[in-house]
Copies of this chain bind each other. A is one copy, B any other.
Amino acid sequence: MEQPKKKSLEKLLHMTRQHKDMINIMPLQTGSILTPAAREALIEFGDGYSVCDFCTGSLANIPNPPIQEFVHELLPQFLGCDVATITHGAREGIFAIMHSMARPGDSIIVDRNRHYTTSVAAERLGLNLIKVPNSDHPEFKIDVNNYIPLIEEHKPRMLLLTYPDGSYGNLPDTHRLGEIARKYDIPYIVNGAYSVGRMPVNMAEIGADFIVGSAHKSMASTGPAGVLGMKKKWQEIVLRKSESHKNKELELLGCTLRGVPLITLMASFPHVVERVNQWDEQVTKAQWFSGELEKLGFIQLGEKPHKHDLLAFETPMFYEFSQHVRERGYFLYKELKERGIWGPQPGMTRNIKTSSFAASREQLSYVVDSFRAIINKYS
């Protein structure tokens, strides 16, 4: 049998992260930078299964650390739902809903801007995915009234809306889709991976049946971790218990987050509860940041004025520069890194995605100045 190479093993002993402590404008990461309390909890509960010391058969009912209170009281209040649980992430929550609520061949109507995992979860289960179109370039907006003809045509088992989507940061009218879902009596899922934990969002007010959130996208937590909220009437389907193991939920395979992601989610939660109240300031900051970048020639995609920190831009000048430099598309990543900025995907120049959520106005001013300097350098 071939043995692992010594050199390969040694590399694993000293892994470091190049972008640690840089100004972070990377959309996947700006909502999940740990709080000091989460960093402490990470170390305290680092060993495998150490959240489970006082388990008597159900993760969500562990009294110490206070998982029970977190899952059964704090989370439902925060999400505006009757019943909540914890998952490995938003996608796994959506899969659990789909798997328990639908049968192969059933239709589900989703927005064209959905995250890829919505498609993948549906495909894994053999569901028929019906897509509500967006308004196309440059705003790519979803008008939820366009669900109506598709509902009438396809008699779907469920509706799903991504709020906001991860490509443009557009915020479609969740409340209006709640009215439509109620009128046609179809279960309605809100994918809040980029909203739950960043901005106020309340399932009951929306009129949705389910809401999923991503702790490692938007709740200041390490991954993998997510939350799932629902109306009480769906509990007996989605969170049904095993016949052979009476306290184990089938769709969760008994327990999900048996480790630190749950503890960082909990330790950051008080901060997350607070920060959603500052959402207006986040939106103002995002609009200002977008405006400053447009002055440099960036073309913002998605809704304008923008209402979320996720910002996609067309940046034709960077693509043009990339055609004339040795590093090709990587020149932009390199230039930003040298300036202590981490964000746009390495190699990408024609379009870039950013998030203004984690950086202060001062830091974002520096980012704008840096983009300007790069443009001047290569022009």
Contacts and interface: CB of A to CB of B under 8 A. Distances in A.
Given A4-B77, A42-B43, A69-B8, A50 B253 contact: no
A257 interface: yes
B88 A88 contact: yes
Among A11, A91, A117, A222, max chain B CB count under 10 A is at A222
Contacts of A77: 1-4
Q: Number of contact residues on A: which range applies?
A: 35 or more
A374 interface: no
Interface string A39-62: 101111111111011101000000
Nearest to A11: B66
A341 interface: no
Most central of A69, A70, A216, A267 by chain B CB within 10 Å:
A216
A44 B16 contact: yes
A326 interface: no
A267 B15 contact: yes
Nearest to A49: B28
A254 B39 contact: no
Interface stretch (A30-38, A133-141, A152-160): A30-38
Contacts of A45: 15, 17
Interface in A282-324: none
A91 B215 CA distance: 22
Nearest to A264: B46
A226 to B, nearest CB: 11
Contact of A258 (B50, B89, B342): B89
A9 B269 contact: yes
Contacts of A70: 12
A340 interface: no
Interface stretch (A118-126, A143-151, A179-187): A118-126
A233 interface: no
A29 B42 contact: no
B74 A15 contact: no
A224 B88 contact: yes
A379 interface: no
A250 interface: yes
A17 B53 contact: yes
A346 B54 contact: yes
| A-B CB proximity, top 7 nearest | A32-B48, A223-B259, A48-B216, A9-B270, A223-B258, A124-B250, A15-B65
Interface of A: 1-4, 8-20, 26, 28-29, 31-34, 37-39, 41-50, 52-54, 56, 64-66, 69-70, 73-74, 77-78, 80, 88-89, 91-92, 95, 99, 116-117, 119-121, 123-124, 202, 204, 215-217, 220-225, 242-245, 248, 250-251, 253-254, 256-261, 263-264, 266-267, 269-270, 273, 342, 346-347
